[in-house]
Structure 1
Amino acid sequence: MKEVFTLLKEQFENIGIIFRISKYEDKAEYQSHYLGLVWEYLYPLIQIAIYWLVFGIGLKHGSTTHGIDYLPWMVIGITPWFFMNRASLDASKSIYQRVGMVSKMKFPVSVLPTIKIVSNLSAFWTMLVFSIVVGFLYGVMPSIYWIQWLYYFICMIAWLIAFGIFNSTISVLVRDYRILLQSVMRMLFYMSGVLFNFETNSFPAPFVHILQLNPFFYVVSGFRDSMLSTNWFWQKPTLTIVFWGMILFFLLVGSHLHYKFRSRFVDLI
């Protein structure tokens, strides 16, 4: 547990550095492209258009989900997913890509995954505003339940930090892990309720209960509960306990491995 507190302390003590470097990386990544940072927002919009045409119009024929039109339902769920997916993959290779540079200066390696998470936030805020606008166009009005999206935002960041420190460390220790993680994230895209609602009678109850334990599903469904439904997060205590339990597990294991092998990262790479 001491390693977890050390990890969190390094994040808070270097919060200024995290935001400065993440801002620099945003500009550096797209500086050679004609549209620059526009691609940060254009790519997810193109993906949303494709999924809406295929699943919303092609397969569902414009039907509704829980009385909500498919487009706002899908957009509100896919917004946190896009952010979590990209942040998870970027964080997993953050140490592998930068450890040679930071090893030559006084710099806490543990903040590298967090930098990748923060650098993806600008696209998330834009997508969130876009999803709210789409909701307005389809008659989704603000309610008191909207305030709990702050809770789910905290959940999302906490999960990404725990998952990121674990993945970034394992990626250094096991070279093939990053490839495995990419495949797992593709599978989780369809198992997190992003494109379709599996909480129906069409799926066996035991199967649904297993899928609900997925932390990505907890965040995605949480954003939908906040924006579209009338459910508070404390109304699903079991899933909440499981979610925070998984965060604690990945923090404990990830921080332990990180501090155990940190001095050997350069040699391992």
Structure 2
Amino acid sequence: MKEVMTLFKEQVSSLGIIFRISRYEDQASYQSHYLGLMWEYLYPLIQIAIYWLVFGVGLKHGQPLNGVSYLPWMVIGISPWFFMNRSTLDASKSIYQRVNMVAKMKFPVSALPTIKVVSNLSSFWTMMVFSIFIGLLNGVYPKVAWFQWLYYFFAMICLLVALGIFNSCISVLVRDYHILLQSVMRMLFYVSGVLFNFVTPSFPAPFVHLLELNPYYYIVNGFRESFLGTGWFWQHPLLTLEFWAFVFFVLLLGSHLHYKFRSRFVDLI
């Protein structure tokens, strides 16, 4: 627990430089491209168009889900998924990409995964505005439940920071881990409720609960319940407890590994 508190203090004390570096990385990533930062927003929009044509028009023939058109239902869920997927993968390789730089500076290595999470927020906000716009065009209007997204946003950031600390350390210790993580994230895309609603009577209850244990599903479903007004987080006490238990466990384990091996990161890389 002491290591978790130390990690938290390092994150808070480094907030200023975390936001400054994240803005710099956003600009540096696309400076050699003609459209520049526009690709930060164009790529997910192109992906959404492809998924909607394949799954919404092709497979489902435009049929609504839970009384809502498939397009807004999908977009509201896929927006946090894009953010979580990219942040998870970027954070996992943050230490072995930049540890040589921070080794020469008075800067906590534990802030590197958080920088990657923060740097992806700009595209996340754009996607959420796009989701709301698509929802309004399809009859999804503001409700009191919309305020609930603040809780799920906080839960999402906690999950990504915890996973970032853990994955970034393991990626240094086992260099093949990042490649494995990419494959796992591709699989999780299809079992996180992003494109399909598996909480139906046709699915066996034990199988459904097993899929609900996925923390990414908890966030995706939470954003949908918030913007579609179909439920509240306190209506799922077991899932909420399981989610936060997972986040705390990953943060505890990740913090322990981080501080155990941090002095050897440069040598290991």
TM-score range, shorter chain: over 0.9
Query: Cα distance, 1:202 vs. partner?
Result: 2.4
Determine what percentage of the aligned residue pairs are the same residue: 75
Aligned to 1:195: 195
What is the CA distance between 1:205 and its match in structure 2?
1.3
Give, in whole Å, the separation in 2 of the partners of 1:194 and 1:60.
14
Displacement of 1:203? 1.7
Separation in 1 of the partners of 2:76 and 2:108?
35
Aligned-pair Cα RMSD in Å:
0.5
Match of 1:263 in 2: 263
Please name the residue that 2:174 is paired with. Answer: 174
1:20 and 1:229 mapped to 2: Cα distance? 36
Letter of the 2:84 partner, please give it.
M
Q: Provide, for residues 104-150 of structure 1, a one-character-per-residue CA deviation record: whole Å limited to 9, x for no partner.
A: 11110000000000000000000000000000000000000000000
Structure 1 residue matching 2:12: 3-state secondary structure: helix
Between the aligned partners of 2:117 and 2:251, the Cα distance in structure 1 is: 16
1:205 aligns with 2:205: yes
2:110 is paired with a residue whose SS is helix
Q: What residue number does 1:98 align with?
A: 98
The gaps in structure 2 that reach 5 residues or longer are none
Q: One-letter code of the match for 2:255?
A: S
Please report the TM-score for the alignment, with normalisation by the length of structure 2. 0.99
Tell me if structure 1 keeps the 8 A contact 2:146–2:229.
no
Query: Which string of whole-angstrom CA distances, capped at 9 and with x for unpartnered residues, describes residues 83-104 of structure 1?
Result: 0000000000000100011111
Which residue of 1 is the match for residue 29 of structure 2? 29
- Structure 1 spans left out of the alignment, 5+ residues: none
Deviation for aligned residue 1:183: 0.3
Query: Alignment length, in residue pairs?
Result: 269
Q: How far apart, CA to CA, are the structure 2 residues paired with 1:230 and 1:143?
A: 10
Deviation for aligned residue 1:230: 3.1
User: Matched residue of 2:61: which SS?
Assistant: coil
Q: Is 1:42 the equivalent of 2:76?
A: no
Aligned pairs (5 A) from 1:50-129? 50-129=50-129
Residue 164 (structure 1) aligns with: 164
Residue 222 of structure 1 corresponds to which residue in structure 2?
222
Partner of 1:252: 252
Letter in 2 for 1:169: C
Alignment of 1:115-154 (within 5 A): 115-154=115-154
- Note if contact 2:143-2:229 (Cα within 8 Å) is conserved in structure 1: no
What are the Cα deviations for residues 9-68 of structure 1, in whole angstroms up to 9, with x where unaligned?
100111000000000000000000000000000000000000000000000000010000
Secondary structure in structure 2 of the residue aligned to 1:33: coil
- 1:74 partner letter: M
* The 10-residue stretch of structure 1 (51-60 or 98-107) with the greater mean CA deviation from structure 2: 98-107
